[in-house]
């Protein structure tokens, strides 16, 4: 079992209930897309799965561990086995792209190696390889504050790919990309899961991408799981009900502010 959530509840300090009685589990290597309208609880769910947020209710199991029963050192080791792709990557603007990518393995490096890598990157070839999968190898030594929003989002993905986690969580990972590039980038996350056996859970606002790439779809609304089905069993009526408050089903639409629509697309390789 990759993870198991039992009756999870989360109430934020402002009193908003983000999750209510969420029960969800996955086998090793499963690929799951979590969909639903804004405010459905998708990001909170991923934070709970990533052992970044302790729920107020229920029980969490991740990679064979109970995160909140671990001591600090063991919890750090568990988190090093979980990779998270953020919608807005928490990357220091002045950091070089190569250093940002290599940070994916800081959790398993010694303090001396981590510090040394800041001055001279310890695995330039490894960073180049994952960046090439995302058509960013030519930005290897650029500063991150010189990248577009879409490029920075892909650097965050490259960092997670370099980490090679056992559980890969992606929170709206392609929101700043044009449709063609978004499709190819999701393909790279799927290819990583297939090649390493990692469990992949991605929250996506674009339903078309979820149905195209993920065998299992979890629909969320108001902090609850509304359905958990194979993609082939998700109907248009279910999606209309799920997205009723937003006036329709979301797809990968126009490029958001900060993205670059003219960035070249690339093809998903047959193997990663």
The domains of the chain, with CATH numbers, are 3-91+165-246 (3.40.50.300)
Report the alpha-carbon distance of residue 153 to residue 176 in Å, rounded. 7
Tell me what pLDDT residue 99 has: 94
pLDDT higher than 90, residue 41: yes
Does pLDDT of 68 surpass 50? yes
The angle that helices 149-163 and 124-133 make with each other, rounded to 10 degrees, is: 120
Residues 25 and 199 sit within 8 Å (Cβ to Cβ): no
pTM of the model: 0.88
| Residue 250 predicted with pLDDT over 80 | no
- The first and second tokens of residue 115, run together, are 């510090």
CB burial class (10 A; 0-12, 13-18, 19+) of residue 63?
A: middle
Whole-number pLDDT of residue 215: 98
Taking residues 99-103, what's their average pLDDT? 94
Give the model confidence (pLDDT) of 193-221 as tens digits. 999 999 999 999 999 999 999 999 999 99
Banded model confidence at residue 245, pLDDT cuts 50, 70, 90: confident
Average pLDDT rounded to a whole number, residues 154-173: 97
């Amino acid at each position: 079992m990759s993870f198991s959530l039992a009756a999870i509840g989360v109430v934020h300090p402002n009193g908003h209930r983000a999750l209510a009685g969420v029960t969800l589990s996955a086998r090793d290597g499963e690929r799951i897309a979590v969909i639903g309208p804004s405010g459905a609880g998708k990001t909170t769910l991923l934070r709970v799965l990533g052992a970044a947020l302790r729920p107020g209710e229920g029980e969490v199991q991740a990679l064979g561990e109970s995160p909140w029963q671990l001591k600090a050192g063991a919890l750090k080791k568990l988190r090093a086995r979980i990779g998270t792709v953020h919608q807005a990557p928490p990357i220091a603007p002045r950091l070089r792209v190569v250093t940002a990518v290599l940070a994916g393995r800081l959790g398993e490096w010694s303090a001396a190696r981590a510090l040394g890598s800041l001055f001279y990157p310890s695995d330039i070839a490894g960073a180049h390889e994952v960046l090439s999968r995302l058509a960013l190898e030519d930005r290897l030594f650029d500063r991150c504050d010189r990248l577009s929003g879409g490029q920075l989002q892909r650097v965050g993905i490259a960092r997670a790919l370099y980490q090679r986690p056992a559980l890969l969580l992606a929170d709206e990972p392609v929101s700043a990309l044009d449709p063609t590039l978004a499709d190819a980038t999701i393909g790279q996350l799927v290819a990583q899961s297939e090649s390493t056996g990692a469990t992949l859970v991605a929250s996506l606002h674009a339903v078309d991408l979820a149905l195209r790439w993920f065998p299992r779809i979890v629909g969320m609304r108001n902090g609850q799981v509304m359905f958990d089905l194979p993609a082939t069993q998700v109907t248009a009526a279910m999606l209309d009900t799920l997205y009723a408050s937003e006036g329709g089903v979301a797809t990968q639409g126009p490029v958001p502010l900060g993205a670059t629509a003219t960035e070249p697309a690339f093809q998903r390789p047959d193997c990663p």
